[in-house]
Amino acid sequence: MARGTEPGKPSGAIKNARNEPGSGELDQRLNRLEAELAKKGVFKQPASEDERSATASSVAQAMKISSEFIAGVLVGALIGWFIDRVAGTSPWGLIVFLLLGFGAGVLNVLRSAGYVAEQGNIKSSAEKNDKK
């Protein structure tokens, strides 16, 4: 692994290589390559404000969903551990409540993603169907 004095800065061997004879030809080739890539539009244009806000919104949604899942699993594990300590049923309480927490976490993720209706929405949609 190359070790330079500063991260992102070339080490001494790379600095010396640029000063060697023949490096001018490499610089010319590099400049031509960059010019050709710029003509073809290979370099990505900066994202618009709408794209950046959509990306930030997606990241926030992903963090919310993942934290809900992790919270469900951790709460289930803590309840199971507590029951094992009190009742002396180790490790069965932990196993059962860890699985229940996993199920609750998956259900929370599905609710947040909109794949499963929440309890209040089920009743209101059933009432609407009865009125028809």
Q: What is the pLDDT of residue 132?
A: 55
Q: What is the pLDDT along the chain (132 residues), one digit of tens a residue?
A: 455 555 555 555 555 555 565 678 899 999 999 888 888 876 666 677 888 888 889 999 999 999 999 999 999 999 999 999 999 988 999 999 999 999 999 999 999 888 888 777 666 655 666 665
Which stretch of DSSP H or E encloses residue 84?
Answer: helix 49-87
Q: What is the pLDDT of residue 39?
A: 84
**Packing angle between helix 92-113 and helix 49-87, nearest 10 degrees?**
160
Q: Name residues whose C-beta falls within 8 Å of residue 3's C-beta, 6 or more positions apart in sequence.
A: 11
pTM as predicted = 0.54
Check if the beta carbon of residue 73 is closer than 8 Å to that of residue 45.
Answer: no
Q: What is the pLDDT of residue 72?
A: 96
CA angle at 54 for the pair 49 and 59, rounded to the nearest 5°? 125
Question: For the chain, what are the domain ranges?
Answer: 11-45, 49-131
CA–CA gap between residue 62 and residue 22 (Å, rounded): 51
Q: What is the pLDDT of residue 48?
A: 79
Check if the beta carbon of residue 80 is closer than 8 Å to that of residue 95.
Answer: yes
